[in-house]
Amino acid sequence: MKYVWIDNYLMSKAGVTKDLQKDWNWIRYQIGGKMFVAVCLGEDNEPYYITLKLEPTEGDFLRQQYEDIIPGYYMNKMHWNSVKADGNVPDDLLKDLLDKSYALVLGGFSKKKQQELLAQSASSNTVSCCGTECTKCGCYGNICKGCNESLGKVFHAPEGQACPIYECSVNRNQYKNCRACSHIPCDIWKKTKDPSFSEEEFEQNIRERVARLLKGQK
């Protein structure tokens, strides 16, 4: 796919979650449980359409300007549009369209619900994919921006690389965090022990992180 940045771009938005709709083989990006973007995958699991929501007049205008923007694939063709994943729509324009789709779906909620969604996102954004509370680390805001903001390239990871847990959970398996994995806590967790912890402290730390992730699922 041409737009390799799209996952990081969408997941950086407040309150966004994603899942795989297996029946259609779509990666769905959602806010408050409502989809605002879908990356449609083919039989080879390669993206072929990026489907998003626009105001009808803008969608109609853009479809006339770009042959790689078509009426929404398997969606309401008045409100949804599909961009060819290997087409010639400029990156900056696609980012603008993704932003507008996000804003439209978020704007469909009541003001109170919008505030709740954004508040929940603000409180959870500093919890890493492995359940660590970044704000409680002395390095946060000093030599480290936190797991989510640095895309896993935290201070203790190999230079230029993501933490092994982030690499597995987010980059490889495309989870938002480890709670979506059936192997939590896995061997990767156990191989990333903070050397300042005793074995007992490390086991307690793992239990707390798992509980924090599961609590966030409610």
Average pLDDT (134-150) is: 81
Alpha-carbon distance of 77 to 86, in angstroms, equals 21
* 50, containing H or E segment: strand 47-53
Provide the pLDDT confidence category of residue 128 given band limits of 50, 70 and 90.
confident
The top-level CATH class assigned to 6-113 is: alpha beta
Average pLDDT (29-46) is: 93
Give the model's pLDDT for residue 121. 62
Torsion (CA) 128, 132, 135, 141 in degrees, nearest 10 = -60
DSSP state, residue 172:
I
**Domain ranges in the chain with CATH number 3.90.1150.30:** 6-113
Provide the pLDDT confidence category of residue 144 given band limits of 50, 70 and 90.
confident
Give the model's pLDDT for residue 218. 40
User: Nearest-5° angle of CA 103, CA 108, CA 114?
Assistant: 75
Give the model's pLDDT for residue 180. 84
Q: Is the separation of the CB atoms in 172 and 206 below 8 Å? A: no
Please state, as a whole number, how many other Cβ atoms lie within 10 Å of the Cβ of residue 184.
19
What digits encode the pLDDT tens for the residues 177-199?
Answer: 898 888 999 999 988 888 888 99
Alpha-carbon distance of 140 to 145, in angstroms, equals 6
Provide the pLDDT confidence category of residue 54 given band limits of 50, 70 and 90.
very high
Question: Does residue 160 or residue 59 have the better pLDDT?
Answer: 59
Question: Does residue 127 or residue 97 have the better pLDDT?
Answer: 97
Report the percentage of the chain scoring pLDDT > 70: 96
Give the model's pLDDT for residue 147. 85
* 34, containing H or E segment: strand 34-41
Q: Is the separation of the CB atoms in 177 and 159 below 8 Å? A: no
Helix (H, G, I), strand (E, B) or coil at 78: coil
In whole numbers, what is the pLDDT of the chain averaged over residues?
89
Give the model's pLDDT for residue 66. 96
| 216 has a pLDDT exceeding 80 | no
